Every structure is written in structure tokens, then in C-alpha cells.
Amino acid sequence: MENFYDPNVVLGDTLRWSMALKNSAGTSYDLTGSTLSMQVRAGYYPSQVLVSYSIGVTAGSTISTPEGSSGGLAAGTAGSINVCIGSNYTKNFPPYTQIFYDLQQISSSSDTLTLLRGKIGTILDVTRT
């Protein structure tokens, strides 16, 4: 199920995206009982964790929107996931480079599946506040 998404972010901006997971039959992917974990790092090999989020998906969970400055993950049992990397984190990303992330599901039986991974391009902002 692994997929790739390579967004760009201006340093200090909030980065958001949503995804709707489907199984091979085309129906919503059930996330009930899973834990979703995401990390952003400067590189694949041991390097500093720039951002880390984790949430549990309980029966009946509905999707919400994570707060913009700190960010987070939100998920519903019917395969909907909202990702938000908060501006408090993006302002400290290294400029003009690519950093790496992945989003994993750990099932109730402890199986791990990488749902999404990619590179985030970082761009220095012009406006200073």
C-alpha cells in the first residue's frame, strides 16, 4: 500500500494534506485499533527527528483537523487521515533542501505498514514577522 507524496513548504508555514485509504476492493480501509506514527528527519540514516506525531484510532473515531501551529495527525476509522506539520516545526527546518518523512500504521496485531513516505522540499520565506 506504500505511496509517495513530495510536498514543498515555505519555512514557518503550516503544511497540511489529507488522504483517504482504500483496500484492493476499493472500499474504505479500516483503521480501527491501529496506531498511526509519523516522523520527519533531515536524512534516512540516524539523524535528528525534526517532527514526530502518533495517535491511536479507536472504534467510532471520526476525522478532525489538527491545530496549525503544533500540528498532528487525525484519523477516522473509515480510512481518512489528516496530516498537519505545524508552523512551530517548519520554521526550524533547514532551508533549500529536502527532508524525509514516513507515515506508518501499526495494527492491533503489531504489524507495521508504511502508508506514505516522501520528501518535503523546504523554501525560505521572504516576509519576516
Q: What is the pLDDT of residue 1?
A: 58
What's the pLDDT at 126? Answer: 87
What residue segments make up the domains of the chain, in order of their start?
A: 3-123
Instruction: Give the cell for residue 29.
Output: 480501509
- pLDDT exceeds cutoff 80 at 128: no
Phi, psi (degrees; rounded to nearest 5) at 120: -110, 120
Residues paired with residue 55 on neighbouring β-strands, in sequence order: 36
Residue 121 has a pLDDT of 97
> Tens digits of per-residue pLDDT, 40-78?
999 888 778 999 999 999 888 878 888 889 999 999 888
Angle at 119 between CA 110 and CA 121, to 5 degrees: 145
CATH code for the part of the protein at 3-123 = 2.60.40.10
Total-model pTM: 0.89
- Give residue 18's Cα distance to chain centre: 9
Mean pLDDT confidence for 14-33? 91
The pLDDT tens digits for 76-112 are 888 899 999 999 999 999 999 999 999 999 999 999 9
Q: CA-to-CA distance for 91 and 13, rounded, in angstroms?
A: 7
pLDDT for residue 91:
95
Residue 105: CB atoms within 10 A of its CB come to 21
Give pLDDT, residue 116: 94
